[in-house]
């Protein structure tokens, strides 16, 4: 059975594609060093349009509106520029709400094509451009520590990591999220406080890495202007010892947080990358593995700190579980000496 692989690695080679959603222009060259905020590629997005209703805005007929319009199709206008008027004792006018180009004038209405900046694709991490993807982007390669999670809100940032995680069972409270964390990537424990997220946005922080989070906070976390990355899952789940040791030992280092959505089909996971100096190039981590004896695994959705162990045996046939169901399972020796039987679907291979 193919296993779910989660990387918790103190030193590895990390290779990540940065790809535009539509064809565009690649702005970097192969072998170029890049910083997280460097633009790798950009593309022109479809322009937005605004319909300005002159008769309704000025309180006139369509025929009169056509005589009041001061612009022609194709004209460029800036924000606040006169579109139509003036009229009446109060000298009513209609001005452009934003900068753009007059695309069409018809029946007293003005269609304004809004100027939109190009979509810019950023590198997201410190590294070197190892390959180019024609018209789409580039492959960035770096060496460092890698910790992958379960859920992210789709944002990406880079900053100094400061820890509020004292133990694997720690909880992040709103009182802990205070002004000294401004501009930092905050490492915290379980969070069930909407106020903690709002405080982080008000400060603001550069990112939030949580051991776990209340499922009720997902809609709010998705709206945060910074990346929110959940390492273990939803509900009060302590951080596993491997992730806890790796992250807390690297506090006050600069980290890249890519809170991309977890997609088991293309292999993407939300992740924390910590660039580290290295005299050699460590191997790339394996992205897929089959379950095997002596593998190091983590119990998914476990509320216990001791959730990491070694597979001792994989059963050849489905076995009965405490729930009364039967499933393919493995016998796992946990690091605390306890031995448990766990469904394979509830195991994650740690590399």
Provide the pLDDT confidence category of residue 207 given band limits of 50, 70 and 90.
Answer: very high
Q: What percent of the chain has pLDDT over 70?
A: 98
- pTM for this model (two decimals): 0.79
Tens of pLDDT, residue by residue over 98-149, are 999 999 999 999 999 997 888 999 999 999 999 999 999 999 999 999 999 9
Q: What are phi and psi of 120, to 5 degrees?
A: -110, 130
Is a pLDDT exceeding 90 seen at residue 191?
Answer: yes
Assess if CATH 2.40.50 describes domain 51-114.
yes
Distance, in Å, from the CA atom of 192 to the CA atom of 212, rounded to the nearest integer, reads 9
Provide the pLDDT confidence category of residue 324 given band limits of 50, 70 and 90.
Answer: confident
- Contact call for residues 229 and 260 (beta carbons, < 8 A): no
Helical residues (DSSP H) of the chain, grouped into ranges: 54-58, 62-68, 194-202, 218-223, 241-248
The mean per-residue pLDDT over the stretch 157-184 comes to: 94
What's the gap between Cα 278 and its chain centre?
Answer: 27
Q: Which fold has domain 2-43+121-275?
A: Glucose Oxidase; domain 1 (3.50.30)
| Biggest alpha carbon–alpha carbon distance for the chain | 89
The mean per-residue pLDDT over the stretch 295-309 comes to: 78
Is a pLDDT exceeding 80 seen at residue 1?
Answer: no
What is the predicted pLDDT for the residue at 253?
Answer: 94
Is a pLDDT exceeding 70 seen at residue 305?
Answer: no
Burial class (CB within 10 angstroms; exposed 0-12, middle 13-18, buried 19+) of 84:
buried
What is the predicted pLDDT for the residue at 104?
Answer: 93
Q: Which of 98-102, 164-168, 177-181, 336-340 has the lowest mean pLDDT?
A: 336-340
Provide the pLDDT confidence category of residue 210 given band limits of 50, 70 and 90.
Answer: very high
Q: What percent of the chain has pLDDT over 90?
A: 69
What is the predicted pLDDT for the residue at 71?
Answer: 94
Provide the pLDDT confidence category of residue 303 given band limits of 50, 70 and 90.
Answer: low
Q: What are phi and psi of 248, to 5 degrees?
A: -70, -30
Provide the pLDDT confidence category of residue 350 given band limits of 50, 70 and 90.
Answer: confident
Is a pLDDT exceeding 70 seen at residue 304?
Answer: no
Is a pLDDT exceeding 70 seen at residue 49?
Answer: yes
| Torsion sign, CA atoms 278, 349, 346, 222 | positive
What is the predicted pLDDT for the residue at 308?
Answer: 86
Tens of pLDDT, residue by residue over 137-164, are 999 999 999 999 999 999 999 999 999 9
Q: Are strands 25-26 and 308-314 parallel, antiparallel or unpaired?
A: unpaired
Distance, in Å, from the CA atom of 121 to the CA atom of 26, rounded to the nearest integer, reads 9
Is a pLDDT exceeding 90 seen at residue 268?
Answer: no
What is the predicted pLDDT for the residue at 337?
Answer: 83
Is a pLDDT exceeding 80 seen at residue 266?
Answer: no
The mean per-residue pLDDT over the stretch 226-240 comes to: 93
Instruction: Residue 207: name the closest of 243, 181, 233, 235 by CA.
Output: 181
The mean per-residue pLDDT over the stretch 196-205 comes to: 96
What's the gap between Cα 227 and its chain centre?
Answer: 5
Q: What are phi and psi of 68, to 5 degrees?
A: -90, -20
What's the gap between Cα 105 and its chain centre?
Answer: 42
The mean per-residue pLDDT over the stretch 203-226 comes to: 96
Assess if CATH 1.10.1200 describes domain 291-350.
no
For the chain, the domains span 2-43+121-275, 51-114, 291-350
The mean per-residue pLDDT over the stretch 288-317 comes to: 83
Structural element, H or E, at residue 339:
strand 339-343
């Amino acid at each position: 059975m193919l296993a779910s692989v989660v990387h918790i690695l103190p030193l590895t080679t990390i290779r990540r594609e940065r790809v535009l959603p539509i064809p565009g222009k690649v702005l970097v060259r192969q072998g170029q060093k890049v910083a997280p905020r460097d633009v790798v590629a950009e593309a022109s997005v479809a322009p937005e349009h605004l319909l300005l209703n002159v008769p309704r805005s000025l309180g006139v007929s369509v025929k009169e509106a056509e005589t009041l319009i001061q612009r022609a199709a194709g004209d460029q206008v800036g924000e606040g520029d006169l579109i139509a008027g003036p009229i009446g004792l109060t000298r009513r006018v209609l001005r452009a709400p934003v900068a753009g180009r007059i695309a069409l004038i018809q029946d007293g209405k003005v269609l304004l094509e809004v100027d939109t900046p190009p979509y810019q694709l950023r590198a997201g991490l410190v590294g070197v451009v190892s390959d180019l993807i024609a018209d789409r982007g580039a492959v960035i390669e770096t060496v460092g520590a890698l910790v992958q999670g379960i859920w992210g809100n789709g944002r990406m940032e880079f900053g100094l990591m400061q820890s509020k995680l004292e133990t694997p069972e720690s909880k992040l409270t709103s009182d802990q999220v205070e002004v000294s964390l401004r501009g930092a990537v905050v490492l915290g424990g379980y969070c069930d406080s909407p106020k903690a997220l709002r405080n982080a946005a008000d400060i603001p922080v550069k990112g939030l890495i949580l051991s776990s989070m209340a499922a009720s906070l997902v809609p709010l976390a998705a709206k945060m202007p910074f990346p929110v990355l959940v390492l273990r899952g939803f509900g009060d789940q302590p951080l596993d010892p491997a992730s806890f040791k790796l992250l807390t030992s690297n506090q006050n280092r600069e980290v890249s947080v890519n809170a991309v959505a977890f997609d088991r089909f293309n292999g993407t996971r939300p992740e924390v990358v910590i660039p580290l100096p290295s005299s050699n190039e460590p191997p790339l981590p394996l992205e897929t593995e089959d379950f095997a004896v002596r593998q190091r695994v983590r119990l998914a959705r476990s509320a216990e700190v001791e959730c990491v162990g070694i597979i001792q045996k994989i059963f050849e046939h489905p076995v009965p579980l405490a729930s009364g169901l039967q499933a393919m399972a493995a016998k796992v020796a946990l690091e605390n000496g306890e031995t448990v039987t766990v469904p394979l679907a509830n195991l994650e291979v740690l590399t």
